[in-house]
Amino acid sequence: MNKNELKTILDNHKKWLIGEENGVYADLSDADLSDADLSDADLSDADLRYANLSDADLRDADLRYADLRYADLRYADLSGANLSGANLSGANLSGAYLRYADLSGADLRYADLSGAYLRYADLSGAYLRDADLRDADLRYADLSGADLDFSQLNLSSVGLNFKIDERIAKQIAYHLINLMQYSDIDVNKIFKTSVYKWLETSHLVEKHDMPVLEIKELENE
């Protein structure tokens, strides 16, 4: 697709968004847009399923509620882009640059975000179930309200410097105490009884039927 063809599609899509009669919805599914300059483009609600957007310039682009399922966004520059409510399930965002990107409420289930640069990104309320976040830079990102169940999350000092909510805090604490008990580390020196009570309302217990953690005495005591 050449630049003129792409410009025509973008212009017609903008008209469609504001309800003009000659506007045409942007169907860019399966399109090869690798290395394309889409900075500041308005592609909200557009169909970009399976599109090749690798190395594309999408800085400050409007992709709200766009359908990006299984799109190839490897090493794309999405800094400052608005992807709020977008469907990115199964998309490949490995190595993508997403500094200050708005991904609030986005569907990122099964997405590959390995090695992605997500500093200061807004991932609040995002669906990250089964997402690959290995080696992603999440420093100063906001993951409050995000669903991280079964995701592959970095455990390095770099990867854990981000904002979470109480739900995620309970999830991390539950697994930490469980591992410590299994490894015969004296958890009781660190965590008080109130922590165990707090974890009784974890979604791991209430939704996934995992056992309530109880104070465990070490065998050699």
Return the pLDDT at 213.
86
Residue ranges per domain, the chain?
A: 167-206
> CA angle, 96 as apex, 91 and 99 as ends, to 5°?
120
- Taking the model in full, what pTM does it have? 0.84
pLDDT at 218 over 80: no
* 3-state SS class at 112: strand
- Read off the pLDDT band of 156 (50, 70, 90): low
Quick: pLDDT tens for 163-217.
999 999 998 888 888 888 888 888 888 888 899 899 999 988 888 888 888 877 5
Query: At residue 119, what are phi and psi to the nearest 5 degrees?
Result: -60, 135
CA angle 78, 84, 85 (to 5 degrees): 130
CA-closest candidate to residue 170, choices 141, 139, 191: 191
pLDDT 10s digits, 43-74? 999 999 999 999 999 999 999 999 999 999 99
Paired tokens of 29: 């599914």
Hunting for tokens 């992709």 — which residue is that? Answer: 63
Measured in whole angstroms, the distance separating CA 104 from the mean position of its chain's CA atoms is 8
Which residues partner with 133 through β-bridges?
153
Determine the Cα–Cα distance for residues 54 and 124; give it in Å rounded to an integer. 25
Check if the beta carbon of residue 47 is closer than 8 Å to that of residue 27.
Answer: yes
pLDDT digits (tens, 9 = 90+) for 68-77: 999 999 999 9
